[in-house]
Chain A
Amino acid sequence: MGRRLAGRLGATAVLVLWSSAAAVAQEGEGPAEPQTWLNWLSAVKIHGHPLVSGTAALAFAWSLFVSVMLLALSVLGTRRLSLKSRGLQTLLEMVVSALRSFVVSVMGSRGVEFVPFIGALFIYIAAMNLLGLAPGFMSPTASLSTTAALALTVFVVVQYYGWREQGIGYLRHFIEGVPLRITYLPFLLLVFVIHVAGEIFRPLTLALRLFGNMMGEEIVVASLVGLSVPILAKWWIPIPIQLPNLVLALITSFVQAMIFATLTAVYLAGVLREPARSE
């Protein structure tokens, strides 16, 4: 009992010290580059250029890691598909059916064709968010590049489906509420501009919301770890003050992924033809 406890205390101490190496940032130079298991990629050179240079490229490498892991998970789970599912297949089926009912509840009956897209968004973002909680790993969503890429994808998909569904009538969305007469031209132009600005604002908020939440959580954890390092250095007691925040981060990772998926579903439901709306 005593040896296990000592072993765990020692492990905590090592983790606290090591993660604080990233927390004790240089003053006035911005957040330090995260110390992760994939940092060695910045030493690998192809034709003289490093494979990974900077935090954004590191985030991209980690997002590739998440994709490969999810792919492996799905391949493992669907190797021997059977009507009487067992093991991993049951888990995957539960997840898929939960996502399906969620998407259909937001989007109506048309939602079924969008379940793969929105479901994949949810699982991918949740996995990326959760990854940062493990020491040595980094949330790719803690980098604005990743979240901006996701938001851009959603934007393109929404616009594409809008044009495909309604053709030129899609433009009618932009001048909602104003009668289509030549005397109302200034109002039409104004509403058009405001609506376009709103359309551009949506992916921006999607990206910033996800990035802000993940980056903020990382910075809070780093600050708390930095606070506990002097105590560790002086009295050799590792106090994990960041533990409540890590537990909260478990919740907010899923919540943020759900927010992203819900908003995507709402935007898509908005551009599909009216009968598809359920809310």
Chain B
Amino acid sequence: MLYLFGMVLAAGFGVAIAALAGGLGQGRAIAAALEATARQPEAGGRLFTLMLLGLAFIESLTIYAFLIGLLLLFRLPPTADVLKVLAGK
């Protein structure tokens, strides 16, 4: 039971922490891009493309953690079975 407990907590908190870190990183990237665009509006197009590229890289790190969470979630048994085992105890 501790095993299942651990899996559920890990899945939940893992993705949450990854989302937090990803959000912070992407925020910094966008802030830098906006600042640079404000300084030089002519370079806006190229900066936008580079920003999107950078955002996708940061996002992929969050997605790795999301994949682990998915892996854990899809290995959990159905809730009905777990409740039955708990009641049986």
The residues of A with any CB-CB pair to B shorter than 8 Å are 27-31, 205, 208-209, 211-213, 215-216, 219, 255-256, 258-259, 262
Contact = CB atoms under 8 A, between A and B. Distances in A.
A262 B53 contact: yes
A255 B63 CA distance: 15
Nearest to A29: B74
A116 B59 CA distance: 28
A219 B70 contact: yes
Contacts of A31: 74
A209 B63 contact: yes
19 contacts: A27-B79, A28-B81, A29-B74, A30-B74, A209-B56, A209-B60, A211-B67, A212-B66, A213-B59, A215-B67, A216-B63, A216-B66, A216-B70, A258-B52, A258-B53, A259-B53, A259-B56, A259-B60, A262-B53
B13 interface: no
A133 B67 CA distance: 21
Q: Is the interface of B mostly helix, strand, loop or mixed?
A: helix
A213 B63 contact: yes
Contacts of A27: 78-79
Interface in B17-57: 52-53, 56-57
Contacts of B70: 215-216, 219
B9 interface: no
Nearest to B65: A212
Interface of B: 52-53, 56-57, 59-60, 63-64, 66-67, 70, 74-79, 81
Contact of A208 (B52, B59, B64, B75): B64
Contacts, number: 45
B75 to A, nearest CB: 8
Contact of B60 (A29, A30, A212, A258): A212
Nearest to B77: A28
A213 B78 CA distance: 26
Contact of A259 (B57, B77, B79): B57
A31 B79 CA distance: 16
Contact of A212 (B57, B67, B76, B79): B67
Contacts of A216: 63, 66-67, 70
A226 to B, nearest CB: 14
A208 B57 CA distance: 12
Contacts of B66: 212, 216
Most buried by A among B52, B63, B66, B81: B63
Given A29-B74, A213-B59, A213-B60, 20 more contacts: A27-B78, A27-B79, A28-B75, A28-B77, A28-B81, A205-B60, A208-B63, A209-B56, A209-B63, A211-B67, A212-B60, A213-B63, A215-B70, A216-B70, A256-B56, A258-B52, A258-B53, A259-B53, A259-B57, A259-B60
Given A212-B63, A212-B67, A216-B63, A28 B57 contact: no
